[in-house]
Amino acid sequence: MTKYIKYTIIGILHLAVVNVFGVNLDSLVVKANNEYNQGLYDSALITYQNILDLGYESGELYYNIGNAYYKNNDIASAILFFEKAKKLLPNDDNINYNLSIANSMIVDKIEKVPVLFYENWWNFFYNMMDANTWAILSLIVTSLFVVSVGMFILSSSRRNRKLSFYLAVLLLLFTITTTSLAYQKYLHSIDNNEGIVFTPSITVKSSPTQNAVDLFVIHEGTKVKIIDRIDNWVEIKIRNGSIGWLPRNSIKEI
């Protein structure tokens, strides 16, 4: 629900911009899409950037930008914007497919570190729906929980009180689970804790200084998890669990 409030605020600000500066967002979107369809990818990217400068964001917009960069053979930028689109539309088949194609074109093929079985279960449910859907489901389950508590309090039958008690406990567990999933999804959509490498080849260091020990080399387009930030350095982790430090200007945050 918070995201809806965010988009409402963005919409109000956009209307103010339209009234003051005469900027028509819809016409910019149409212009950018037409330029893309005509193969004018550089022009389309400039227009898409103008849209971003207005403070507007959406999964569809990021997806289109990713496609334009892909057509321009800028794979790292394509991956960056496909990842941005995936944050907002995690279950979109087109986004996931194009992201997998772009990832197949980069140098690094890093195997993901195995996870425990309960993490697989959690990730399965986590990826089933987006934050808004989990939030709506959480509200529904919470309402049912309140009803079951009311039945327990008001019922005069021992059997009904027992059934409503166990139902309330079950619904409480579902409420906690769905609320946790919605909150995690929301945090993931707003946190800049991931990035894409934008240097053709770079050595990851053991500490945040150029004189530190060299650990391993990664290449442009590789996705990293950002663990910490110190001055002009970021501590990163890659899919296989390896950790080290990179200059902050070598990556762009998702």
Average pLDDT over residues 98-110: 94
pLDDT value, residue 18: 46
Q: Is residue 16 part of a domain?
A: yes
Residue 111 lies inside a defined structural domain of this protein: no
- Same structural domain for residues 177 and 202? no
Number of structural domains the chain divides into: 3
Residue 23: predicted pLDDT:
53
Q: How confident is the model at residue 73 (pLDDT cuts 50, 70, 90)?
A: very high
Phi, psi of 26 (to 5 degrees): -60, -40
Contact 180, 126 (CB under 8 A): no
Q: Are 81 and 63 in contact (CB under 8 A)?
A: yes
Residues 6+ apart with CB under 8 A from 177: 125
pLDDT of 16 reads 53
Domain stop point among 167, 190, 213:
190
Mean pLDDT of the chain: 87
Secondary-structure percent of the chain, ordered helix, strand, coil, rounded to 5: 60, 15, 25
Give the CATH number of the domain where residue 44 resides. Answer: 1.25.40.10
Question: Would you place residue 172 in the very low, low, confident or very high pLDDT band (cuts 50, 70, 90)?
Answer: very high
* pTM confidence score: 0.72
User: Which stretches of the chain are assigned E, i.e. beta strand?
Assistant: 194-197, 201-205, 214-219, 223-230, 233-237, 243-247, 251-253
CATH of the domain at 228: 2.30.30.40
Residue 77, domain member (yes or no): yes
Domain residues for the domain of 248 are: 194-253
Same domain, 182 and 233: no
What are the tens digits of pLDDT across the range 16-36? 544 444 457 888 999 999 999
Are both 199 and 219 inside the same structural domain? Answer: yes
Quick check: 80 and 67 in contact, CB under 8 A? no
Residue 7 pLDDT exceeds 80: no
Judge whether 88 lies within some domain: yes
- The answer to the question of residue 108 being in a domain is no
Identify the pLDDT of residue 131.
Answer: 76
Residues 210 and 168 in one domain: no
Domain boundary among 190, 209, 232: 190
**AA identity, residue 37:** N
Quick one: tokens of 210?
A: 């150029």
In a domain, 182, yes or no: yes
Nearest to 226 by CA among 191, 183, 200, 198: 191
Are 13 and 86 members of one domain? Answer: yes
pLDDT category of residue 115 using cuts at 50, 70 and 90: low
Q: How much is the average pLDDT of 47-51?
A: 95
Q: Which tokens go with 47? A: 């227009």
For the ranges 120-129, 190-199, 232-241, the lowest mean pLDDT is seen at: 120-129
In a shared domain, residues 94 and 23: yes
Same domain for 135 and 83: no
Of 67, 122, 126, 140, nearest to 98 by C-alpha is 67
Q: Is the pLDDT of residue 1 over 50?
A: no
Please give the radius of gyration of the chain, using alpha carbons only, rounded to the nearest integer: 23
In a domain, 233, yes or no: yes
| Domain end among 103, 130, 155 | 103
Q: What digits encode the pLDDT tens for the residues 191-235?
A: 668 999 999 999 999 999 999 999 999 999 999 999 999 999 999
